[in-house]
Structure 1
Amino acid sequence: MHKSTLEQWGLLDEVVRHGSFANAAEANHRSQSSVSYNLAMLQERLGVTLLETQGRRTVLTPAGEELLAQVRPLLKAFYTLEKRAIAIQNGERSRIELVVDSILPRENLFSVLREFQRRYPRTQVNVTEVLETQVPDSDHADVLVLSQRQPGSGRGEWLMNVDFVAVAHHAHPLLQQDGVISAEQLAAYPLIRIADSQHFSVLQERNHGEVWSCSTIEAAIEAVTHQVGFGWLPETRIQAALAAGTLKVLPLQQGVRRATALHLLINNHIIVIDASLQTLLNLLREQSWH
């Protein structure tokens, strides 16, 4: 049998915060005698004096400060638990699984997540990034933003286009030539692509030249920046490098820019879209993706 309860420790915390039994009782809609009785029982059962009077204020003793400091994390966790229970009762989700293609502009994504957190602070959003060539486990995802509508991945709608631009380091040999660059000239240098290793041979055959495959956008950008090769990179990710002149757009005969469409999808197993999930969908749709 425990000698104390969370309710008693909670009342102790309230008395300290409000400075007196009377103020704590009023703030918690209780009688002053009820607060006094509970704290008297707490101190009696523990055998420790927790409170003392200083002027008109009731403050903690050194022992009270030490013990309450250890209890406060438990009180916070318990209050969070109760709020979570209320949220569940009101139909709020505790968690949303969001899968996004790695080319989705992060600045915009984080803007969506910040606003969602402000509206639903007790709903956790788990974000998983995937490559275009990867097929995510859509059964465990609630919302997906993908470049392809894989079978069974859910209902889908166009969300945005991601612009890719052909670039190389400003000192790369391709940029030392005069005039436009032909396909034959490009083929003499490695192409940096964003793809997983299992698709390397396929990409190599399609481009009829040397292809270096990077598993992340960041790695592809670094490879181009270090003159390993040239590549089509997401324009939003390299704006700073373009502005600084570190990377430059290649003067190709054609195909300088490419666009990949991203689609917003919902898991097929979700029959009813609750308020929190609808809010996330709306925020993704409303975001200015540029």
Structure 2
Amino acid sequence: MPHRRNALTPEALAMVDAIARTGSFAAAAREMGKVPSALTYSVRQLEDALDVLLFDRSSRQAQLTPAGTELLVEGRRLLQEMDAVANRVRRVAGGWETELSISLDDIVSPTTMFELIETFSGLCTGDGEAGSGGGTRLRLRNDVLAGTWEALVHGQADLAIGVAGDFANPGGIQLEPLGHVDFVFCVAPHHPLAGAPDPLTPDCLLQHRAVAVADTAQRLTPVTVNLLPGQDVLTVPSLRLKLEALLRGLGCGYLPEPLVRPHLDAGHLVAKRGPRGDRPVALHYAWRGDRSGLGLGRALRWWLDQLAKPKTREALLHRQAGRLPG
């Protein structure tokens, strides 16, 4: 029987997490690239080492016991801390990070982002030779709502741009304001709500399908915004697909004003007053580390320097095309 400490490996903790998320041993085995029998054997070894039962096998789905739930919660925290330590060691040792992962909320302007990447790619190394961000490889993620924060908290991203909402900070994460974005409730001109009197009431909206963008969070509780209980919903994976659905009259919903402005001006969409009004949404950018930047890699510091510029923040939120303001 393995020692308890030796049994609690990152692989074992990730295995418990996969089973809990997918709801079955078979689904978790597929996700991890294992056969179900091997996964079942690994779970039994872990249970023997800890001398506890982690999963209730009396039901068809893999249900965690109280002990299993505690291991899941603490295991996720440990995995998060391991990722944080590995990232810090890499930054301290190398100066320029080998890789920098950036989580972008779907609201961020891709045009502005790629212009920043062009500038970053033209940076020089310390000895003056041309390089790609000092040799740092960039990895971009597209996340939505709580998924942007989750990517940073769980070590899948070094920098998160477009964080919305008031999330619990586990410690060590810094946030700075990115800006505010107005959201407009809109429908196609041929949609029944186009001629309805403003403001639209909840009773009126319940009779029509809403179009919503799916939260990409898998571990945190997904965020649901501006949906009414019992309302028919068409769920799409991005704001741009939501825009396409609204243009086709497949539903109604809120979209960022910069994204829909050309379509409103052209008459392809009609702005309506929704129940919550047109209150702006506050967004942030976030990273792991102290405000002084000590211990941060040079690539991350470069991106934080760009985000500190008001014109850059404005362009990231309010421009869909064209050049970055000088």
Partner of 2:139: 126
Partner of 2:164: 147
Radius of gyration: which is bigger?
Answer: 1
Determine if contact 2:146/2:223 at 8 Å carries over to the other structure. Answer: no
CA distance in structure 1 between the aligned counterparts of 2:122 and 2:177, rounded to whole angstroms = 26
Closer/same/farther in 2, CA of residues 116 and 255 from structure 1, 3 Å limit: same
Task: Report 1:19-38 matches (<5 A).
Answer: none
Question: How many Å apart are 1:288 and its aligned residue?
Answer: 4.1
Summarize the Cα distance change of 1:157–1:139 in structure 2 as closer, same or farther, 3 Å threshold: same
In the TM superposition, what whole-angstrom CA distance separates every residue of 1:29-54 from its partner, at most 9, and x where no partner exists?
xxxxxxxxxxxxxxxxxxxxxxxxxx
Q: Which has the higher strand share?
A: 1
Query: Which residue of the partner structure matches residue 16 of structure 2?
Result: none
Shift of 1:174: 0.9
Corresponding residue for 2:297?
274
Distance 2:174 2:223 in 1: 32
Matched, 1:248 2:266: no
AA aligned to 1:187 is L
- The answer to whether the 8 Å contact 1:196/1:214 transfers is no
**Compared with structure 1, are the counterparts of its residues 130 and 288 closer, same or farther at alpha carbon in structure 2 (3 Å cutoff)?**
closer
What is the rounded CA distance, in whole Å, between the counterparts of 2:224 and 2:285 in structure 1?
27
Q: Tell me how far apart the structure 1 counterparts of residues 198 and 156 of structure 2 sit (CA, whole Å).
A: 51
Residues 106 and 118 of structure 1: CA distance in aligned 2, closer, same or farther (over 3 Å): same
What letter corresponds to residue 130 of structure 1 in structure 2?
D
Q: Distance in 1 between matches of 2:145 and 2:301?
A: 25
The amino acid across from 2:214 in the alignment is A
RMSD: 3.2
Cα pair 2:146 2:164 within 8 Å, conserved = no
Say which SS state the counterpart of residue 140 (structure 1) adopts.
coil
> In 2, Cα distance between the equivalents of 1:171 and 1:205?
22
CA distance in 1, matches of 2:117, 2:294: 23
Partner of 1:18: none
Q: Among the aligned pairs, what percent are the same residue?
A: 20
Consecutive unaligned residues of structure 1, counting only runs of 5 or more, are 1-87
Is residue 223 from structure 1 mapped to residue 245 from structure 2 by the alignment? yes
Amino acid aligned to 1:128: R
Alignment of 1:1-290 (within 5 A): 91-119=95-123, 121=132, 122-134=135-147, 135-136=150-151, 138-145=154-161, 146-148=163-165, 149-152=167-170, 154-178=173-197, 180-196=199-215, 206-252=228-274, 254-268=275-289, 272-286=295-309, 287-289=312-314, 290=318
Superposition deviation, residue 221 in structure 1: 1.2
The 1:211/1:258 distance shift into structure 2, 3 A limit, reads: farther
Q: Give structure 2 stretches of 5+ with no counterpart.
A: 1-91, 125-131, 319-326
- Separation (CA, whole Å) in 1 of partners of 2:283 and 2:226: 24
* Count of aligned pairs between the two proteins: 202
**Superposition deviation, residue 241 in structure 1:** 1.6
Post-superposition offset of 1:258: 3.5
> Deviations along 1:53-110, whole A, 9 cap, x unmatched?
xxxxxxxxxxxxxxxxxxxxxxxxxxxxxxxxxxx99832332111121122223322
SS in structure 2 opposite 1:233?
Answer: strand
1:187 Cα offset (Å):
2.1
Preserved contact between residue 188 and residue 270 of structure 2 (Cα < 8 Å):
yes
Which one-letter code corresponds to 2:248 in the other structure? H
Deviation at 1:247, TM superposition (A): 0.9
C-alpha distance in structure 2 between counterparts of 1:97 and 1:201, whole Å? 23
On the 8 A contact 2:145/2:223 being kept in 1, the answer is no
| Alpha-carbon distance in 1 for matches of 2:223, 2:142 | 23
| CA 1:200–1:155: 2 relative to 1, 3 Å | closer
Change (3 A) 1:116 1:150: farther
Contact 2:185 2:252 (8 Å CA) reproduced:
yes
Question: Given the superposition, is the C-alpha separation of residues 204 and 90 from structure 1 closer, same or farther in structure 2, using an over 3 Å criterion?
Answer: closer
Which whole-Å CA distance do the structure 1 matches of 2:176 and 2:192 have between them?
Answer: 42
Q: Is the 8 A contact 1:192 1:220 kept in 2?
A: yes
Give the Cα separation in 2 of the matches to 1:258 and 1:248. Answer: 18
| Counterpart Cα distance in 1 of 2:255 and 2:184 | 6
- Any conservation in 1 of the 2:179–2:313 contact (CA below 8 Å)? no
- 1:204–1:242 CA distance, 2 compared to 1 (3 A): closer
Residue by residue over 1:168-196, the C-alpha shift from the partner in whole angstroms, topping out at 9 and shown as x without a partner, is 00111111235543332222111111124
Matching residue's letter, 1:158:
P
Residue type matched to 2:98 in 1?
Answer: S
Which AA in structure 1 matches 2:160? L
